Chain A
Amino acid sequence: DIQMTQSPFSVSASVGDRVTITCRASQGISSWLAWYQQKPGKAPKLLIHAASSLQSGVPSRFSGSGSGTDFTLTISSLQPEDFATYYCQQVNSFPITFGQGTRLEIK
């Protein structure tokens, strides 16, 4: 199984800050990676697919990069609505696996 390791586990930041979350796969997954945002009590929301393609309707302050084993999600200028938990997910092969999540909190 492919293990997905996110870091940091949690991060505190302020509105306007730039934040980067990393995700590492235990083996190469090409660009078969997605990023999701989840708020309490809600279903996840797709932000990025294919490692770097912004999902329709997602603000351009979100961006993704990477391929192979190392990936990043960057939020260029945090907005109040961005405080949530973020997950990476590999969809290269079954079993599909998620990272453990990164909680983004208000400083």
Chain B
Amino acid sequence: EVQLVESGGGLVQPGGSLRLSCAASGFTFSNYWMNWVRQAPGKGLEWVASINKDGSEKYYVDSVRGRFTISRDNAKNSLFLQVDSLRAEDTAVYYCGRPDGYRATDVWGKGTTVSVSS
């Protein structure tokens, strides 16, 4: 079964850091780009970051560039999002996703929740 499972979320103070992980199974992880998408409480979906198959290309939404870092470990079938200098507006459910050949995300994890509050 193709599956993505996120972990690493939690409650953190403003300015803090977390490392989000996404464990992939059921497919050849190294053959796919990967995404992070987030959703603030009661709000819509926001793309956060993407990484290519070998990790040599990374793209970010402007609001997180310089604070968040996407990475992957193909040997461990894992995707990561290092989130630093967290702000209240980063509070959201963070989903990892696998884009298909048409770049649409056809596999999603269930999400991990990041709450930024003092």
Contact B105 A46 (CB under 8 A): yes
Question: Which residues from A are CB-within-8-Å of B46?
Answer: 98
How many contacts between A and B, using CB within 8 angstroms? 65
Report Cα–Cα, A95/B47, bound state, in Å. Answer: 8
Contact B106 A32 (CB under 8 A): no
Q: Shortest distance in angstroms between B113's beta carbon and chain A's nearest beta carbon?
A: 11
Say yes or no for A65: interface residue by CB 8 A criterion.
Answer: no
Say yes or no for A91: interface residue by CB 8 A criterion.
Answer: yes
Residue of B nearest to A48 (CB): B104
Contact A89 B95 (CB under 8 A): no
Q: Shortest distance in angstroms between A60's beta carbon and chain B's nearest beta carbon?
A: 18
Question: Which residues from A are CB-within-8-Å of B50?
Answer: 94, 96
Q: Known contacts A87-B45, A95-B59; decide if A50 and B109 are in contact (CB<8 Å).
A: no
Interface residues on A, range: 20 to 34
Contact A94 B59 (CB under 8 A): yes
Report Cα–Cα, A12/B99, bound state, in Å. Answer: 31
Q: Shortest distance in angstroms between B80's beta carbon and chain A's nearest beta carbon?
A: 19
Report Cα–Cα, A45/B99, bound state, in Å. Answer: 12
Question: Which residues from B are CB-within-8-Å of A74?
Answer: none
Contact B106 A44 (CB under 8 A): no
Binding site for A on B (CB under 8 A): 35, 37, 44-47, 50, 59-62, 95, 99-100, 102-106, 108-111
Binding site for B on A (CB under 8 A): 32, 34, 36, 38, 42-46, 48-50, 53, 55, 87, 89, 91, 94-101
For this complex, 12 residue pairs linking A to B, each with C-beta atoms less than 8 Å apart, are A34-B102, A34-B103, A34-B105, A44-B37, A46-B100, A46-B104, A46-B105, A49-B100, A55-B106, A95-B47, A95-B61, A98-B46
